[in-house]
A and B are shown apart, each in its own frame.
Chain A
């Protein structure tokens, strides 16, 4: 065990993280000399002998079993193509119409529909296959989509879903966070939707600073009137 950086420290691509018998986790690679190095800008996380780097930015790369929010971009026969905020297009194959009829559920999709789906298969060589078979999956009617940095989705959900539960308690039940960085929301009034967007932007901007959920709680309690630095963190 020889971590050369502090846990939770910001590291950069190529930075030496550890020598010795630690396991390389996500966004960590082993160099020619057997040392562990980061491949991204992110936060170091050491747990159970495994070093990983939690990325701070990046596009969504599909992984099997991920729950994603997609927007229908094309319908061709029983194939539905979905924009899943990724370099790849989501492919949803609808069951043959007879089987569909037998299961008693009619599924029709048109361009612009918002769909909650699960990644069934993805090999990198062809577009990811999605499915809507499963509890809670399928079309999401109405509502709007807020686009967030996909790298921050785990922060928006939080440890044991703590953050998303907090948002749902304070703002409304109809918030669905896709692993791909599309957040679907249906609320009664504009205020709540603005408040949610503010909360999401706060998480995006400040997730690398400890005490995030306290700050999100403060924002939600203070309501839309709460003062929040408006500036993008990148305007240095």
Chain B
């Protein structure tokens, strides 16, 4: 996958009248996405996602014993989430440690995933979710949520379904799918959305910038279409390790 080159200056034009974007995509195209599950041996569940220029690791530990003890919920599992950006994940070195932005994203990712988890099956325990941004390129909260949902499923935690997240946005008059770095910085509107795919329940919806009602509906429809595509990739990623074993067994026996 070729790494897109970013300009220090805002690009002169974000989208041509024909709808060609700065990375050559059409308005309704996703960036290239790759997902792998079970990449960390020490975690109970894990996933690695490449989404455009984003590189994201998600790890899930648990259900396990709660520490500190007083946080224990007697009737259900506690779900904790930490979103963290590596110091080298951005163009300018990011000061390590949680800041206002990553505290917010930890919160929204947790809340986007929580409705999917059957927390009452694991009373008195904790499920810890870690989302580590290794390289960032716009839309990390959505790619992170998507990865974390895979890691939860990989950990064998009981869930209503997978959570799929992606952003849509507006650039000038265009409603675009999956805004890239340029569009995120200099575009007009950014709408991150997460769906619980089982019944398309929306578990995350943020809006940064003005949209008319028609534009909003168009954006949400586009997000739903995009989510369907990402969902297929998630399902393929979860099945892949088992199919690989199946094939290797068949190969050994023939």
Contact = CB atoms under 8 A, between A and B. Distances in A.
Do A and B originate from a single complex?
yes
Interface of A: 10, 12-15, 27, 29, 31-32, 37, 39-41, 55-59, 61, 87-89, 124-126, 151, 205-206, 208-209, 211, 215, 229, 232-234, 236
Given A12-B162, A229-B248, A59 B62 contact: yes
A211 B154 CA distance: 24
Contacts of A124: 75, 123-124
Given A31-B199, A206-B245, A233-B245, A87 B158 contact: no
Given A124-B124, A125-B124, A39 B158 contact: yes
Nearest to B231: A14
8 A-B pairs closest in CB distance: A14-B161, A58-B156, A57-B156, A234-B38, A14-B198, A13-B159, A87-B125, A124-B123
A119 to B, nearest CB: 16
A233 B244 contact: yes
Interface string B231-248: 000010011111111101
Contacts of A10: 239, 242-243
Contact of B241 (A61, A211, A234): A234
Contacts of A56: 156, 242
Given A14-B197, A236-B244, A125 B74 contact: yes
A37 B198 contact: yes
Interface string B102-136: 00000000000000101001111100000000000
Contact of A13 (B63, B65, B122, B153): B153
A40 B158 contact: yes
B156 A151 contact: yes
18 contacts: A10-B242, A12-B162, A13-B161, A14-B161, A29-B118, A31-B160, A31-B198, A39-B158, A40-B156, A59-B62, A87-B63, A88-B125, A89-B65, A208-B245, A209-B246, A209-B249, A233-B245, A236-B241
Given A59-B64, A233-B245, A14 B160 contact: yes
B245 A59 contact: no
A29 B41 CA distance: 29
Given A12-B238, A14-B162, A87 B156 contact: no
Is the contact region of chain A dominated by helix, strand, or loop, or is it mixed? loop
A205 B122 CA distance: 26
A27 B158 contact: yes
A39 B158 CA distance: 5
Given A124-B124, A236-B240, A55 B156 contact: yes
B52 interface: no
B248 A41 contact: no
Interface in B211-254: 235, 238-246, 248-249, 252-253
Contacts of B253: 211
Given A56-B156, A208-B242, A236-B36, A13 B74 contact: no
Contacts of A12: 153, 162, 235, 238-239
Nearest to B247: A209
B234 to A, nearest CB: 8
A206 B242 CA distance: 8
Given A13-B161, A59-B156, A229 B38 contact: no
Most buried by B among A41, A125, A232, A233: A41
A31 to B, nearest CB: 7
A87 B77 CA distance: 11
